[in-house]
Amino acid sequence: MGNSCGCGANRMAQLSVSSRYFLTELNAKPNFARYMNKDDAVKTITKAMMSPIFGHSVMYPVGGPGKGVKRTKKNNLEDVIYAMKTDDLMGGGYYYLSNIRDGEESSICYDILMLVPNIKDKELSHKIKTIHDLSK
């Protein structure tokens, strides 16, 4: 995660606190603690994470179309994060929303990490902040 001058730490220091935290979370290994009592689930998730096609962090290089194509394309996500200006006064920043249901009747839940520049809708901003605070 650095740049060509080898000063990745200096580049990271340029980020807002929200952007820095978001980028750190994206580069972190997932926490499988909640699955530890299910041996098969941990093995399956670990195997999927190690897949050369589908596994690893969203920050890794991107593969081309086709089966078995190596990941050689530059992933622009890090550049997008560095370019984003978050406006904390307008609801912008890093949000973590846990156990978000796929639908009202669904038992499938997602953990969502998002970085937003701003939220102009005050009602939506309040909802997201409330869910984020409950997810801590």
Contacts of 45 (CB under 8 A, 6+ apart): 30, 32, 35
Segment 79-106 mean pLDDT: 90
**Residue 22: pLDDT over 50:** yes
**Parallel, antiparallel, or unpaired: how do β-strands 109-116 and 93-101 relate?**
antiparallel
| Strand (E) or helix (H) holding 78 | helix 77-83
Q: Would you say the pTM of this structure is higher than 0.85?
A: no
Segment 66-85 mean pLDDT: 84
Closest to 8 in 3D by CA, of 87, 82, 77, 80:
82
- CA-derived radius of gyration, the chain: 17
* 78 or 12, greater pLDDT: 78
